[in-house]
Chains A and B, each alone.
Chain A
Amino acid sequence: MRADRSIAYKLILVITGCSALIFAATIGYSYYHSRMVLERELEENARNQVLASVNRVETILAAIGKVTEGLARSLETFNYTDKSLNTMLMATFAGNNEIYGVCAAFEPDASSGPGSRSFAPYFYRKKGDFLFVPDDTFEYLTQDWYQIPKELGRQEWSEPYFDQGGGDIIMTTCSVPFYEMVGNERRFRGIIATDVSLDGLTDIVGSMKVLKTGYSFLLSRNGTILTHPSKDLIMNESIFSIAESRNIPSLRDIGRKMVHGESGFLPYTDIQGVKSWMYYAPVSLTGWTLAVVFPEHELLAEVHSLTLTLAAMGIAGILLLAVAVVFIAHSITTPLRALSKATEVIAAGNFDAELPSIRSQDEVGVLNQSFIAMRVSLKKYIKELTETTAAKERIQSELKVATDIQASLLPRIFPAFPDRPEFDIYATMDPAKEVGGDFYDFFFIDHDRLCFLIADVADKGVPAALYMMVAKTLLKTEAQRGGSPDEILSAVNNILAADNENCMFVTVFCALMDTRTGEVRFANAGHNPPLLIESQGIRYLALKAGFVLGPVLDSTYETERITLQPGETLFLYTDGVTEAKAPEAELYGEQRLLEALQRGPKEELAEMIQHIRAAVKQHANGAPQSDDVTMVAIKYRGTK
């Protein structure tokens, strides 16, 4: 589900989706279950119907069988003449309307009447009369109705056949062999055969009520179709020939079960291709099979209509549910949308925007109250923020002024002494904050002596700047008195230490250069040693460390000296250079500084210092500057 869909959309989708699933599952189960129940009922119903019909058919057939059997036994028991035989044959018609004809067929040798010739008196019904056919040329000896019971020695029902008269009447013959005792031998004498028209039986089968389009059919022992709604199939096709011509092996299997006298209930696709159910059971007396076919669509019509109704109700219900969900969702989202619109106005900065009036105390109501409270708080906060910002801006502007003042204190115009070719001097100071604690200075004490110094006040910012001002003023004042560097530092130290409640201190490297000789006298108060750039190379000056100015009274310093040859340069710097670093990286360090100076330009001091500045910045790799970075370079050129 996409995250930007509306709440109403999500609710409808989830609720109606779930409901539809539940409905579908319920309907599916109901369909399945109803179908099962229906099939069970159908099987029960089909079995009862088929068995009842089979029973009726068998009752009729059994009665005929008994009559035939009785006649055969009579012939075995009684002596009879041709005439009395005819009377006995005629008598079988009485009370047996299904009997179409009756015949006593004698085995040629055994006939007691006309000697050894074949003899078969036959009576049959025709339009209420009984006709006699004394046909003794009739080749009955190889007829199934004669041969089969003779060979099997028991009553047999023949495979149904078309009436010899060429009519459409399908007949079957019940044949019973009869015997005579010759001595101890039971000798076959002939067959009593009664012909039965299948019309009456067909009516019984046809009268079965099998839904609307269902039907029944009767198969012979060979699988031949005896009754079927399709008249073309009757006597022409068997279940096996249909299976063969339509290539349905399963139908052949069903047929084999049928002719083996089994019964069963099974799904069946009939020859029109209609999916159906079939129940079949044997007529055991004749080996026939009675089957009923129920078209599935008709059987399931009620289940289908019930399922359709349920489905329609379900769909209507889901639609109703969807409408309800839309309503609820709307009642939730309308105030939310109003609230959202109002908060957009507030977000744009208009804190006096009207919030919607929501009376309900539900979650949306609570949310609205919270928004009202938030608006009040925001208003208050913004007011305070405005005031604070104004105050901060004032301080900022004051600091800016302080920066300007501090910057103006340091000599910033280069070349600083255009009329003095004996030396070059160049310096920069980049404060870490608006105001810094580093400073440098250079000035002439008299015509030939230049004082230059570099210093670093501990700490940064305003306190350091103020301290620096003091220190710078004191150093310049003391230097102008004309003392040596150690005297200058001692004097300034004593002044600073006298009233140093905050325990602040400053490192200073202070030097005096005689411009005539290049002699530099210097003293150090805890400052980084400067570098000497000679013609042979660059090196750090090894000098006495000295104690920082400020913390302790009466610290002593020592003046050292070095004479610069023309072309040699002194490079002074504060620890902002060597301690510059990127996060997670090493300090810039003295070695890197030395190497940078070796690589960089040496002639023009401004270029040299800019080069170091760039190298330090590159090493810091964008990290904010943590300390003031100050550099002073002085190059002695000598007198002409």
Chain B
Amino acid sequence: MEALETIMHLSVKPCRLLCLLLLLFNFSTNSAGADQTVLKKASLIPLWYPQAQFAGYYVALEKGIYRNHGIDLKILPGGPDHSPTQLLRSGEADFAVLWLSTALQQYESGEKLINVAQIVQKSSMMLVARKSSGIDTPADMQGKKVGIWGGGLAIPAETFFKKYQLSVREVRQSYTVNLFLRGGIDVASAMWYNEFHTILNSGIDTDELNLFFLHDYGIKFPEDGLYTLAKTYRRDPILVDAFVKASLAGWAYAFANPEETLDIVIRLMNEANLPANRAHQQWMLARMRDLIQPLNSSDSIGELKLSDYEAVGSALQINGVIKTVPGFEDFVRRSDAR
């Protein structure tokens, strides 16, 4: 009150007064939440090279959202030579972007990690075949050459084959779709937001393709989530909460400002010497928006639903990927709200 009275005595203009008050208020909340002067260091490892799939994190970093939440975040370079699970395990990364199926597999193998936010709400994985190959139904894939990604990314597709009791000739698919484009395989794995668009932008029209969205065939595996080790969470739950809040705020900003977001993503791709195609990143960002926004408007963004968790757990169990499904409470960060 004393300060306020002093300001009043200065007889400044009302708008300037308001600004000053806001500044004052802002400062006080910051100091109450996280000390601005002492930022906590943390690191995040994305699943892949910089691209719009991780736009929310890059934007949050770029726009100082992590900093505002008291985190000095470093986003580690992703890519085929940088396994998020390994980096998480080794402690080089505090947070990782992982698929739910991969995370459960890791959990089973003894790595106690925790889902702190479920970013992508539904499966965007799909199998793509040329119409000319005559593969119109899952049954037509019997005995065909199918491109499958390595590691945890293979789980949804393999669940699909088991569900339809298909024995296919699995060919390890690289991160390009050229093997499919050249006719080296009959069916390719593709993410709706990425490889599918790459195929379209290699001159193949949608009506020349048969698309099998795993989601439509009951393989409803939520994908990108944010994970940390259980011990990290125990050590500093405030940091984890702040990281989740900032990441979600980053996504909200990215969707609200797509052009600025694309500028940031393209710049990072150029810096990483990656071919950067704005049309492709634009497609990817738009699809991420479709995937991240909750299916029901009542649900909040970034939340792993128990029903999804149980469905994935039992599917993985049935298909022998994991033996036991960890308790939901153990696996999921206890949100402050609950």
Contacts and interface: CB of A to CB of B under 8 A. Distances in A.
A139 B282 CA distance: 31
Contact of B275 (A235, A239, A244): A235
Contacts of B277: 236-238, 241
B327 to A, nearest CB: 37
A274 B197 CA distance: 28
7 contacts: A147-B179, A152-B183, A221-B181, A235-B275, A240-B200, A240-B201, A242-B279
A151 B184 contact: yes
A268 to B, nearest CB: 17
A245 B282 contact: yes
Nearest to B198: A222
Contacts of B172: 141-142, 147
B144 to A, nearest CB: 12
B201 A238 contact: yes
A536 to B, nearest CB: 119
Nearest to A260: B203
A166 B273 CA distance: 7
Nearest to A156: B182
Interface string A241-256: 1101100000010011
Interface in B160-198: 171-174, 176, 178-179, 181-185
B91 interface: no
A222 B182 CA distance: 10
A222 B183 contact: no
Given A152-B183, A241-B201, A259-B202, A147 B171 contact: yes
Interface string B86-125: 0000000000000000000000000000000000000000
Contacts of A224: 275
B280 interface: yes
A70 B205 CA distance: 38
Nearest to B278: A245
List 8 tightest A-B contacts by C-beta distance, closest first. Answer: A151-B184, A241-B279, A222-B202, A240-B201, A245-B279, A142-B174, A259-B203, A244-B279
A141 B172 CA distance: 9
B179 A222 contact: no
A222 B181 contact: yes
Interface in A122-146: 139, 141-144
A32 interface: no
A494 to B, nearest CB: 133
Contacts of B77: none
Given A148-B184, A151-B184, A236 B276 contact: yes
Interface string A443-478: 000000000000000000000000000000000000
Nearest to B80: A139
Interface in B224-281: 273, 275-280
B150 interface: yes
Interface string A148-184: 1011100010110010001000000000000000000
Chain B at the A interface: SS class? loop
B174 A151 contact: no
B130 interface: no
Nearest to B276: A236
A420 to B, nearest CB: 130
Interface of A: 139, 141-144, 147-148, 150-152, 156, 158-159, 162, 166, 221-224, 235-242, 244-245, 252, 255-256, 258-260
A156 B277 CA distance: 25
A280 to B, nearest CB: 14
Contact of A244 (B150, B183, B184, B201): B201
| Chain B interface category by residue count | 20 to 34
B145 interface: yes
A239 B201 CA distance: 8
Contacts of B275: 162, 224, 235-236
Nearest to B283: A244
A256 B80 CA distance: 31
Given A147-B184, A241-B279, A256 B178 contact: no
A31 B80 CA distance: 60
Nearest to A246: B279
A236 B201 CA distance: 12
Contacts of A148: 178-179, 182, 184
A152 B278 CA distance: 32
Nearest to A167: B273
Contacts of A258: 203
Interface of B: 80, 145, 150, 171-174, 176, 178-179, 181-185, 200-203, 205, 273, 275-280, 282-283
Contact of A241 (B181, B273, B280): B280
Nearest to A141: B172
A233 to B, nearest CB: 10
B150, B179, B182, B184 pick with most chain A CB within 10 angstroms: B182
Nearest to B150: A142
A483 B184 CA distance: 158
B171 A151 contact: yes
Nearest to A166: B273
Given A148-B178, A152-B183, A245-B279, 18 more contacts: A142-B172, A143-B174, A144-B176, A151-B171, A152-B182, A156-B182, A162-B273, A223-B202, A237-B278, A239-B203, A240-B200, A240-B202, A241-B201, A241-B277, A241-B278, A241-B280, A245-B278, A259-B202
A166 B79 CA distance: 15
A238 B202 contact: yes
Contacts of A238: 201-202, 277
Given A159-B176, A240-B203, A244-B201, A152 B184 contact: yes
Contacts of A240: 200-203
B303 to A, nearest CB: 33
A537 B80 CA distance: 144
A503 B144 CA distance: 142
A223 B181 CA distance: 12
B154 to A, nearest CB: 12
Contacts of A144: 174, 176, 178-179
Contacts of A256: 203, 205
A354 to B, nearest CB: 92
Contacts of B80: 139
Contacts of B203: 222-223, 239-240, 252, 255-256, 258-260
Nearest to B149: A142
Contacts of A143: 174
B171, B179, B184, B202 pick with most chain A CB within 10 angstroms: B202
A162 B184 CA distance: 23
Contacts of A142: 150, 172-174
A159 B178 contact: yes
Nearest to B184: A151
Contacts of A236: 275-277
Nearest to B266: A236
Contacts of A151: 145, 171, 179, 184-185
B97 to A, nearest CB: 21
Contacts of B185: 151
Contacts of A166: 273
A239 B277 CA distance: 11
A447 B231 CA distance: 175
Nearest to B177: A222
Contacts of B145: 151
A313 B276 CA distance: 55
Contacts of A156: 182
A245 B281 CA distance: 11
Contacts of A241: 201, 277-280
B221 to A, nearest CB: 23
A207 B144 CA distance: 46
A323 to B, nearest CB: 63
A235 B178 CA distance: 15
A435 B118 CA distance: 135
A222 B280 CA distance: 14
A259 B276 CA distance: 21
A295 to B, nearest CB: 25
Nearest to A287: B182
A245 B80 CA distance: 29
Nearest to B199: A222
